[in-house]
Amino acid sequence: MRICVPVCAKTFADMAEACARASAVGDIIELRLDCLQDLVSEIETFVSRLSRPIILTLRPAEQGGYRVLGRPERVAFWARDLKPDFLCDIEADLVLDVAVEPSRLIVSHHDFTGVPENLDQLYERLTATPARIVKIAVRANQITDCIPVFHLLDRANNEQRALIAIAMGNAGIATRILGPSRGAYLTYGSLEDESATAPGQVNARQLRSVYRIDEIDRETMICGLVGLPVMHSVSPHMHNAAFATAGVNGVYLPLEVRELESFVRRMIHPRTRELDWNVRGLSITAPHKSAVMELLDWIEPEAREIGAINTVVIENDKLRGYNTDVHGFISPLRERLGLVKGLRVAVIGAGGAARAVVWAMKREQANVTLFARAPDKARSASENFEVPCEPLSEASFRGYDVVINATPESPATAEQLAGAGLVYDLIYNPIETRFLQEARAAGCHTLGGLKMLVAQAQLQFELWTGKTAPASVMHDAAIAALRP
């Protein structure tokens, strides 16, 4: 068993419908009985009709459940004569007060605040109970909170103990995707994105179709997107589809990182990392594109000039930094305009993406002006690349051949864009951004960011794998992920 789909519904009729859908994507179904309006006596009859193995859970509100349940009510429920083919997930505070057969018993502990310092001692207390399976779910406030969870899985594996160990929250998603390959008894996947029963729970269908969880093993090459936020990105869809097509034993994960230095030191750099995992490459996005540079062992000259990194390759115990944004950005522009030498180009932004765009346009011998909402933040780019910088609030782009948005926002109005030639938005999600809508309203030609996304990702794939990237597969995967 690998993927367990939790089902939460107010009535047995709704639960039956959800179970039918869960059976199509999961190996086991967890019935969250605390979601039901009434705990009726027909639970055994209901479950006997289901085609998948079942976990019964009656979680009290104070431990992440959906209803207030007193201790006597919980004890009375578990005292029922339940059939032996159900697994019963019972909280640690109750497990010694019920008479469920140990072979059917999961003893669970949830901490929605963080990772307890005594995690190993907690594990030892739970393994001392009669339960056959131990479940520990803790909150990952930082991605490094995944480390003790992975270590606990390694310990249980060595001791041949059945353990479900999960770091909840977006920062803990790696434990959900990689857990089974590291010995976890199962992982949880939601039926739909909106029906997750715990923070950071991944859609069960995506666990199989995007992350190919059934194919991940200890040798799987691990790559991922490092930034904050990252859950909106379609990069996992692109890269995982490319791995599958190219026959690469690899998986690409969203890695939500707040504290970059500790993440790189404790989880990534071969000389200092605390995890035994085959991590090979990283995509770097906001806000870490410049900060990551001081943590690398080698940086390609172009990326050093730009002052921003979007790709890291782990090779021969070293971290090597590249910037594929330039290639990704310039390819669609050349396809649309040909040469840009001598054109008037306005670049909006002050971050790593803006630096890459300005550098590329200077190399192409365009006449560049930088616009920023806070010009002070763009001063270093302005001085380094010797381009003028003007405040965005006073900008008029009339007469510019190209206007490029390198911010995550919609920074200009149709009135400001009127009279410009081509308006290029590096944002790809949504495909039709407000910035492009404003540009069309102003009568401008437009270019979205999807082609850039795919082009820069192709080069990343090739740096990590040494194989030619399947461009059409990556493009189609991105489009499919962006469809409503």
Residues carrying an active site annotation: 289
Could you tell me which of 108, 140, 141 has the C-alpha nearest to residue 126?
108
Place of tokens 């006073």: 394
Place of tokens 């782990």: 314
Element housing 133 (H / E) = strand 133-139
Residue 405 phi/psi, 5-degree rounding, is -95, 115
Residues with Cβ within 8 Å of 62's Cβ and at least 6 positions away in sequence, in order, are none
On the CB side of 63, CA atoms within 13 Å amount to 21
Separation of alpha carbons 68 and 129, rounded Å? 25
Give the distance, in angstroms, between the CA of residue 406 and the centroid of all CA atoms in the same chain. Answer: 22
Helices (DSSP H) in 71-159: which residue ranges?
71-78, 119-127, 146-158
What six digits make up the tokens of 96? 């010694």
DSSP code per residue over 279-333: EEEEEE-TT-TTGGGGG-SEE-HHHHHHT---EEEEETTEEEEE--HHHHHHHHH
What six digits make up the tokens of 252? 């690409």
Look up residue 435 and give its DSSP letter: H
Give the distance, in angstroms, between the CA of residue 472 and the centroid of all CA atoms in the same chain. Answer: 23
For 96, counting Cβ atoms within 10 Å of its Cβ (0-12 exposed, 13-18 middle, 19+ buried), the class is exposed
Angle at 430 between CA 363 and CA 444, to 5 degrees: 55
